[in-house]
Amino acid sequence: MSTSTFRRSRVRAAAAAAVTLALGCTALAALPGTAGAAAAGGLVVQYRTSASGASADQSEPWLKVRNTGSAGVPLSDVKVRYYFKGDSASAGYRFACSWAVKGCANITGTFRTLPNPTATADRYVEIGFTAGAGSLAPGADTGDMQLRFHRADWQPLRQSDDYSFGAERNTYGDWAKITAQLGSVTAWGEAPGGDGPTDPTDPPTDPPADGPTLFDDFDYTGHTDPRIAANGWSVRSNSGGPGVPGAVWAPENVTFSGQGGDSVMNLETSTAGTGASTEQTEILTKSTKFRNGTYAARVKFSDAPRSGPDGDHLVQTFFTINDLKAPMADDYAEYDFEYLPNGGWGEPSNILYTTSWDTYRPDPWEAVNQHSEARKSYAGWHDLVVTIDNSEITYYVDGQPFGTHGAAYLPERPMSINFNQWLIDLAGQASTAPRSYDQQVDYVLHVKDQVLSPAQVSALVSGYRAAGTTFQDTVPAV
C-alpha cells in the first residue's frame, strides 16, 4: 500500500532542500573561453563561480547552457561535463543544486573517472536534465544553475589544480574548459588530455551473468491462478488505504491477456462517483526481501478511461515499500513511480512523480522525502527503472535519467514490490455514471545488489524471453 494516500499537501520542498547527494568532484583551473569552440554544434556553456579561493569548503560552479543553433534542443539530450582533480584517490564528494531556473528536481549530477587522467583532471561530474527541464529554443538559455559540491567528510577541497575551475570568473562568460554533449556529439568545449566524448566507464550493454534475480513476465490465466501465490505474489483483497474511503480492493479486476506475443497484466479501477461503488486494484510480493539493486518494469499508463466520463483523480503506480512501524520511524522506505493522468494533490493536470521516502507521520501530516516530476502526458508504454546503491537512488524513464535522490533516503530495511491503481478522491469528476480505467504491466525485474543501466535491463529481459523463461526468483529470503 503506497503512503501516497496521505499526500494531500506533499511537503516535499523541505526534504528536497535537506540533502541532494551523489559521488564526487572538486574544482578547476583557468583557460580563456573560446567563444567559437565547437559552436557549430549549437551549444555554448557559460560559467562563473561564487567560491573563488584556491581551496574552499565547497566548490560552486554556476552554469548556463545556451542554444546557438537554429532548431530547438531537448535538454534531456544534453550532458555537461565539469572536470576536476580529486584531492586523493579515496576522496568522496557530494553534489547538490542550490537553485535553478529549470528547477533543481530536473537536474542530475553523476560523477565518473577519466580513462586518461592528467595533472589537472582525473574525474568529472556530468550534469544531465530530466524530461521535465523541457527544451531550449534557438537563442534561449537555461538560466542560472547554481550548483555546488563538497567533500563527503566536509574537509576543505582544493580547487587550484582543477581543469574546469576559473578563479577569476565572477561573472558569466563562455567557458570552453567545460564540455557539452548533444547526444553522442561534443557540441562545445575541449576535454582534458584527449579524453573525448565516449565514456569508457559507462556500464556495458551486456547484462551481468550472475546476481540473484526476480523476473516475472506475468504469464498467468487469471487472479485465481495458483502460480501467482506460488511465485510469491498476493492479489490484494483486504480493506484499507490508500484511496477513496469505502472503496474495496477487487482481486477479480486483476486480469491477464496476450498482446504481441507477450502476456500482459491489467489492473482495472472503476467507480460510479461514490466510495461504495469504487473498486481499486493492487498486486504485491508477499515477501519483503528486496533492498539495494535494480528494479524495472514496463508499464502502460492511461490518460483516458476505458469507458465512461473522464476526469477522476487517478494514481497509476510501480513502487517498493516497507511498513511504517511508528510515525516518523527512521527505518521506513518507499520508492515510487506515480502517474496522475488527471492531476490531484493540487496539480491541475497530468504529472509523473518519482519519490524517495525517508519517513512520514500521517496525523498531523509531516513528510521527509525527495521527489522529481514532469508535467506532461505519459499515456502509453514506458520502461521504468530505479537503481539503489550505497550512495544514491536514480530513476530512469525510457532510458533517460528522470531524477537522482540522495543518500539520506536510502533504505534501512528490505521492501516488497508493488503495482496498484487507485483514486485519490472523487473531486475530479462529479458524475455518477460508471467509468473504469486500466493500467497494464508487461514484466517486472529486480537484480539484487547490482546497478544495471537501462540498456542492460533491456538486454536481460530480452534474454529471458528468448530462452522462454516466464518466471525466475533466486533472490534469497531475509
Q: What is the mean pLDDT of residues 258-276?
A: 92
Can you tell me the distance from the alpha carbon of 110 to that of 125, in angstroms, rounded to the nearest whole number?
5
Residue 401 has pLDDT above 60, yes or no: yes
Of residues 367 and 10, the one with the higher pLDDT is: 367
Residue 216 has pLDDT above 70, yes or no: yes
Write phi, then psi, for 281 (nearest 5 degrees): -135, 145
Per mean pLDDT, which range of 38-47, 59-68, 273-282, 460-469 is the poorest? Answer: 38-47
1, 242 in Cβ contact below 8 A?
Answer: yes
Q: Which three cell numbers stand for residue 424?
A: 485519490
Residue 12 has pLDDT above 60, yes or no: no
State residue 459's pLDDT score.
84
Task: Assign 462 a pLDDT band (cuts: 50, 70, 90).
Answer: confident
State residue 206's pLDDT score.
55
Residue 16 has pLDDT above 60, yes or no: no
What 3 state SS string does the chain have?
A: CCHHHHCCCCCCHHHHHHCCCCCCCCCCCCCCCCCCCCHHHCEEEEEEECCCCCEECCECEEEEEEECCCCCEEHHHEEEEEEECCCCCCCCEEEEEEEECCCHHHEEEEEEECCCCCCCCCEEEEEEECHHHCEECCCCECCCEEEEEEECCCCCEECCCCCCCCCCCCCCEECCCEEEEECCEEEECCCHHHCCCCCCCCCCCCCCCCCCEEEECCCCCCCCCHHHHHCCEEECCCCCCCCCCCCEECHHHEEEEEECCEEEEEEEEEECCCCCCCEEEEEEECCCCECCEEEEEEEEECCCCCECCCCCCEEEEEEEECCCCCCCCCCCCEEEEEEECCCECCECCCEEEEEEEEEEEECCEEEEEEEEEECCCCCEEEEEEEEECCCCEEEEECCEEEEEECHHHCCCCCEEEEEEEEECCCCCCCCCCCEEEEEEEEEEEEEECCCCCHHHHHHHHHHHHHCCCCEEECCCCC
State residue 466's pLDDT score.
84
State residue 418's pLDDT score.
98
State residue 26's pLDDT score.
28
State residue 184's pLDDT score.
77
State residue 113's pLDDT score.
82
Give which of 367, 349, 287, 346 is closest to 320, Cα–Cα.
Answer: 287
Residue 326 has pLDDT above 80, yes or no: yes
Q: What is the mean pLDDT of residues 254-258?
A: 95
Q: Which three cell numbers stand for residue 103?
A: 528547477
Q: What is the mean pLDDT of residues 208-227?
A: 91
Q: What is the mean pLDDT of residues 316-345?
A: 97
Reported as a single tens digit per residue, the pLDDT across 44-73 is: 999 999 999 999 999 999 999 999 988 999
Reported as a single tens digit per residue, the pLDDT across 220-237 is: 999 999 999 999 999 999
pLDDT averaged over every residue in the chain: 87
Q: What percent of the chain has pLDDT over 70?
A: 88
Q: Which three cell numbers stand for residue 383?
A: 520502461
Reported as a single tens digit per residue, the pLDDT across 304-316 is: 999 999 999 999 9
Residue 241 has pLDDT above 70, yes or no: yes
Q: What is the mean pLDDT of residues 329-351?
A: 96
Q: Which three cell numbers stand for residue 439?
A: 493500467
State residue 195's pLDDT score.
60
Residue 6 has pLDDT above 50, yes or no: no
Reported as a single tens digit per residue, the pLDDT across 130-165 is: 888 999 999 999 999 999 988 877 889 999 999 999
Task: Assign 207 a pLDDT band (cuts: 50, 70, 90).
Answer: low
